[in-house]
Chain A
Amino acid sequence: MSKKKKTKEDYYLASQWTLMARKLKKHKLAKVSLIILAILYFGALFADFFAPYSISNTSSLYKDTFPSKIHVMHDGEFVGPFVYGLTKTINKKDLKAPIVIEEDTSQYYKIGLFVHGDEYKVLGLFTSDIHFFGLKEGSNGGTSARIYLFGGDVLGHDILSRIIVGGRISLTIPFASAFISFFLGITIGSLSGYFGGVFDMIVQRIIEVIGAIPQIPLWMALSAAIPDGISTVKIYLYITIILSFINWTGMARIVRGKFLSLKNEDYVMAARLAGVSTWKIIWKHLVPGFLSYLIVALTLGIPGSIVGETSMSYLGLGIKDPATSWGVLLQEASDVKVVAAYPFKLIPIIFVAITVLAYNFLGDGLRDAADPYK
Chain B
Amino acid sequence: MDTNTNCNVNKDQTKSWDKIINSLKDFFGKDIVRYIVKRILMFIPTIFLVSFLVFFVIQLPPGDYVSSEVAKLAGEGEYLSEKEANDLRAEYGIDKPFIVQYGMWIRDIIWTPTDSQYYRINHSHHNWKYSFEQKKNVWTVIEERLGITILISSIIMIFQYAVSIPIAVYSATHQYSAGDYIASIVGFLGAAIPNFVLAFVLMYLSYKWTGNAQVGLETKEGVIGFLKSLVIPIIVIGTSGTCGIIRSVRAQMLDEIGRQYTLTARAKGVKESTIIMKYCFRAAINPTVSGLGGILSSLFSGSTVTAMVLGLQIQGPQLLAALQAQDMYLAGSIVMVQAILVVIGILLSDIVLAFLDPRIRYSGGSR
Show the binding face of A for B, using Cβ within 8 Å. 196-198, 200-201, 205, 208-209, 211-218, 220-222, 224-225, 249-250, 253-254, 256-258, 260-261, 264, 290, 292-293, 295-297, 299-300, 303-304, 306-307, 310-311, 314-315, 327, 330-331, 333-336, 338-340, 346, 349, 352-353, 355-357, 360-361, 364, 367, 371, 373-374
Report Cα–Cα, A373/B262, bound state, in Å.
Answer: 12
Q: Roughly how many angstroms separate A353 CA and B367 CA in the complex, as a whole number?
A: 45
A-B contact count (CB 8 A): 206
Alpha-carbon distance A315/B194, docked complex (angstroms)? 13
Distance in Å: Cβ of A207 to nearest Cβ of chain B: 8
Q: Are B297 and A257 in contact (CB under 8 A)?
A: no
20 further interface pairs, Cβ-Cβ under 8 Å (given A205-B45, A214-B319, A215-B301): A211-B294, A212-B50, A213-B339, A249-B294, A253-B293, A257-B353, A257-B357, A260-B359, A293-B252, A296-B250, A306-B192, A310-B196, A314-B196, A334-B199, A334-B309, A338-B200, A339-B204, A353-B188, A356-B191, A371-B254
Choose, from B56-64, B101-109, B149-157, the stretch at the interface: B56-64
Residues of B within 8 A of A331 (CB): 196
Q: Which residues of B contact A209 (CB under 8 A)?
A: 46, 49-50, 53
**Contact for B191 among A215, A296, A303, A314, CB less than 8 A:** A303
Q: Smallest distance from the beta carbon of A205 to chain B beta carbons, Å?
A: 6
Question: Hey, which chain B residues are within 8 Å of A339, CB to CB?
Answer: 200-201, 204
Interfacial chain B residues near A205, Cβ < 8 Å: 42, 45-46, 49
Given contacts A218-B57, A349-B193, A360-B184, contact A208 B335 (CB under 8 A): no
Asked if residues A346 and B197 are in contact (CB atoms below 8 Å), the reply is: yes
Contacts of B127 in A (CB 8 A): none
B residues within 8 A CB of A306? 192
Count of interface residues, chain B, beta-carbon cutoff 8 Å: 74
Asked if B331 CB lies within 8 Å of chain A CBs, one says yes
Report 17 cross-chain contacts, Cβ distance below 8 Å, ordered by A residue. A201-B366, A205-B49, A212-B338, A225-B61, A253-B291, A253-B294, A256-B290, A257-B287, A264-B361, A293-B252, A295-B251, A297-B248, A310-B194, A310-B196, A349-B192, A353-B188, A374-B258
A253→B290 contact, CB < 8 A: yes
Of all chain B residues, the one with the shortest Cβ separation from A336 is B204
Residues of A within 8 A of B62 (CB): 224
Is the C-beta of B304 less than 8 angstroms from some C-beta in chain A? yes
Q: Is B60 in contact with A196, judged by CB distance below 8 angstroms?
A: no
B305 in the interface (beta carbon within 8 A): yes
CB atoms of A293 and B255 under 8 A apart: yes
Assembly CA distance A253 to B290 (angstroms): 6
* Chain B residues closer than 8 Å to A254, beta-carbon distance: 287, 290-291
Contact A360 B46 (CB under 8 A): no
Residues of A within 8 A of B250 (CB): 296
Tell me if B93 counts as interface (CB < 8 A to partner A).
no
Q: Residue on B with the closest CB to A311?
A: B305
Q: Whose C-beta in chain B lies nearest to the C-beta of A349?
A: B193
- Decide if B342 is an interface residue (CB 8 Å cutoff): yes
Q: Interface residues of B: mostly helix, strand, loop or mixed?
A: helix
Cβ–Cβ < 8 Å partners of B293 in chain A = 208, 211, 253
Measured CB to CB, the closest approach of chain B to A253, in angstroms, equals 5
Interface string of B297-330 (1 = CB under 8 A from A): 1001110110001000000100110011000000
Q: Is the CB of A304 within 8 A of B58?
A: no
**Minimum C-beta distance from B167 to chain A (A):** 15
- Complex CA gap A257/B356 in Å reads 11
* Closest 10 A/B residue pairs (Cβ): A214-B301, A224-B61, A212-B339, A221-B60, A257-B290, A373-B258, A356-B192, A310-B194, A296-B251, A353-B192
B10 within 8 A of A: no
Task: Give the distance to chain A from B320, nearest Cβ to Cβ, in Å.
Answer: 6
Of chain B, the residue at the smallest CB distance from A218 is B57
B146 contacts chain A at the CB level, 8 A cutoff: no
Q: Which one of A211, A258, A371 lies within 8 Å of B286 (CB-CB)?
A: A258
Contacts of B294 in A (CB 8 A): 211, 249-250, 253
Instruction: State the Cβ distance, B96 to closest chain A Cβ, in Å.
Output: 20
Min Cβ gap B178→A in Å is 13
Q: Which of B54-80 contact A (CB under 8 A)?
A: 54, 57-58, 60-62
Please give, as numbers and ranges, the residues of chain A lying within 8 Å of B320 by CB-CB distance: 216, 315
Q: Check if B301 sits within 8 Å of A261, measured CB to CB.
A: no
- Taking A220-B61, A264-B359, A336-B204 as contacts, is the C-beta distance between A196 and B301 under 8 angstroms? no
B127 to chain A minimum Cβ distance, whole angstroms, is 22
Please report the C-alpha to C-alpha distance between residue A265 and residue B367 in the assembled complex, in whole angstroms. Answer: 16
Find chain B residues with CB under 8 A from A211 CB.
293-294, 297, 342, 346
Q: Which residues of B contact A374 (CB under 8 A)?
A: 258
Is the Cβ of A303 less than 8 Å from the Cβ of B204?
Answer: no
A125 to B189, CA, bound (A): 38
User: Which chain B residues lie closer than 8 Å to A304 at the CB level?
Assistant: 191, 244
Closest to A265 in B: B359
CB distance from A236 to the nearest CB of B (A): 16
Q: Using known A-B contacts A220-B61, A224-B61, determine if residue A215 contacts B204 with beta carbons closer than 8 Å.
A: no
Structural contact, A335 and B200, CB atoms closer than 8 A = yes
Q: A212-B297, A257-B290, A373-B258 are in contact. Are A200 and B366 (CB under 8 A)?
A: yes
Given A220-B323, A250-B291, the answer on whether A292 and B251 have CB atoms closer than 8 Å is: yes
Q: How far is the CA of A367 from the CA of B46 in the complex (A)?
A: 36
Measured between beta carbons, the chain B residues less than 8 angstroms from A335 are 200
Complex alpha-carbon distance, A303 and B297, angstroms: 19
Determine if A217 and B323 form an interchain contact, defined as CB atoms under 8 angstroms apart. Answer: yes
- Closest chain-A Cβ to B236's Cβ sits at a distance in Å of 12
Chain A residues near B200: list those with CB within 8 A: 334-336, 338-339
A264 contact set on B, CB distance < 8 A: 359, 361
Q: Which of A216, A260, A349, A361 contacts B197 (CB 8 A)?
A: A349
> Could you tell me if A373 and B248 are in contact, using CB atoms closer than 8 angstroms?
no
Chain A residues positioned under 8 Å from B32 (CB to CB)? none
Contact pattern, B 175-215, Cβ under 8 Å of A = 1, otherwise 0 = 00000000011001101111111011101100000000000
Contact A261 B335 (CB under 8 A): no
Q: What residue in chain A is nearest B347 (Cβ atoms)?
A: A208
Whether a CB of chain A sits under 8 angstroms from the CB of B259 is yes
